Amino acid sequence: MKRLMLILPLIAMAGSSSNVALKDDSNTTQAVGTLTLTWLQPNSMEVMLDGKRYVGEWDSERCLDAECRGAYRTMSKVHRRHIREGQAVLKTKEGDRLDCEWVSHLPDVKGSCRTQNGRTFRLEEAKPTK
């Protein structure tokens, strides 16, 4: 908690980020990455999958109805304005592609990513290990 209190002013100045995980059907983490929100630069996303670094920019827009809010539809009205629907196209240096879409109430993220060969992964906030 103390660490969080120390970085809050930095987040306000620079933006914020969420650590994300890509999980397969058996709930096994296959990849980890970072979704970064920056105020003055494009929003960036980076994921390591199968030893390859996928990077790109993401964009989002505010969710205005219950269908868009998905898992967050029951949140109190005051928090609903922070729920966003996002998408990103990430690429490796070799040109491999990863398409991601999600709904977020940062730092929490719920969505999916799909490789160009059809593999699909659940996208969610990476929980710290204890």
Report helix, strand or coil for 78: helix
Residue 48 lies inside a defined structural domain of this protein? yes
Q: What is the mean pLDDT of residues 8-28?
A: 61
Q: Number of folded domains in the chain?
A: 1
Inside any domain, residue 8: no
Please state the rounded mean pLDDT for residues 92-105: 93
* CA-CA-CA-CA dihedral for 40, 34, 100, 75, to nearest 10: -80
Which residues are 46's β-sheet partners? 34, 55
**Residue at 37 is within a domain:** yes
Cis peptide before 107 (omega within 30 of 0): yes
Q: Domain for residue 114, yes or no?
A: yes
User: 69: alpha, beta or left, given left = phi > 0 and alpha = psi -120 to 50?
Assistant: alpha
Q: Is the pLDDT of residue 1 over 50?
A: no
* Dihedral class, residue 51 (left if φ above 0, else alpha if ψ from -120 to 50, else beta): left
Task: Give a yes or no: residue 5 inside a domain.
Answer: no
Domain membership of residue 101 (yes or no) is yes
pLDDT bin (cut points 50, 70, 90) of residue 44 is confident
Split at pLDDT 50, 70, 90, the class of 16 is low
Domain that holds residue 81: 16-125
| Residue 99 resides in a domain | yes
Placement of tokens 């660490």 in the chain: 3
Q: Residue 127: its pLDDT value, please?
A: 72
Q: What CATH number should be reported for the domain holding residue 112?
A: 2.40.128
Examine residue 3 and state whether it is found in any structural domain, yes or no.
Answer: no
Q: What's the angle, vertex CA 105, arms to CA 102 and CA 111, rounded to 5?
A: 20
